[in-house]
Amino acid sequence: MAILSHHHNKYPLRSLQHVPTCHHQRRSHTRVTCSVTTTSTKPSSNPDQLIVEPGLDRLVSTPPPLVTPTSSPLLNDPSLQSTWSHRAWVATGCTTVMISLAKSMVAAANSHIWLEPMLAGYIGYILADLGSGVYHWGIDNYGDASTPIFGSQIEAFQGHHKWPWTITRRQFANNLHSLARVITFTVLPLDILCHDPTVQGLVGVCSGCIMFSQQFHAWAHGTKSKLPPPVVALQDAGVLVSRSQHGAHHRPPYNNNYCIVSGIWNEILDKHKVFEALEMVLFFKLGVRPRSWSEPNSDWIEETETHSQVTVH
Chain positions contacting Zn ion, by CB under 5 A = 140
Residue closer to Zn ion by CB (options 92, 168) is 168
* Non-local CB neighbours of 144 within 8 Å, separated by 6+ positions: 151, 154, 155
Q: What is the smallest separation between the CB atom of 85 and Zn ion, expressed in angstroms?
A: 24
Could you give the CA distance from residue 281 to residue 296 in angstroms, rounded to a whole number? 22
Could you give the CA distance from residue 80 to residue 173 in angstroms, rounded to a whole number? 10
Rg (CA), the chain: 21
Q: What is the smallest separation between the CB atom of 249 and Zn ion, expressed in angstroms?
A: 6
Q: What is the smallest separation between the CB atom of 250 and Zn ion, expressed in angstroms?
A: 6
Residue closer to Zn ion by CB (options 140, 299) is 140
Query: Which among 255, 261, 289 is positioned nearest to 275, based on CA atoms?
Result: 255
C-alpha separations of 233 from 169, 209, 242, 261, 291 in Å? 22, 18, 10, 15, 34
Residue closer to Zn ion by CB (options 140, 270) is 140
* Non-local CB neighbours of 304 within 8 Å, separated by 6+ positions: 45
Could you give the CA distance from residue 195 to residue 169 in angstroms, rounded to a whole number? 40
Q: What is the smallest separation between the CB atom of 204 and Zn ion, expressed in angstroms?
A: 26
User: Which position's Cβ is nearest Zn ion?
Assistant: 140
Residue closer to Zn ion by CB (options 140, 191) is 140
Could you give the CA distance from residue 84 to residue 174 in angstroms, rounded to a whole number? 10
Q: What is the smallest separation between the CB atom of 234 and Zn ion, expressed in angstroms?
A: 17
What is the phi-psi region of residue 81: left when phi exceeds 0, alpha when psi lies from -120 to 50, beta otherwise? beta
Residue closer to Zn ion by CB (options 120, 241) is 241
Q: What is the smallest separation between the CB atom of 186 and Zn ion, expressed in angstroms?
A: 22
Q: With contact defined as beta carbons under 8 Å apart, do 38 and 63 qualify? A: yes
Residue closer to Zn ion by CB (options 11, 165) is 165
* Non-local CB neighbours of 9 within 8 Å, separated by 6+ positions: none
Could you give the CA distance from residue 98 to residue 274 in angstroms, rounded to a whole number? 33
Residue closer to Zn ion by CB (options 11, 194) is 11
* Non-local CB neighbours of 95 within 8 Å, separated by 6+ positions: none
Q: With contact defined as beta carbons under 8 Å apart, do 226 and 205 qualify? A: no
Residue closer to Zn ion by CB (options 140, 295) is 140
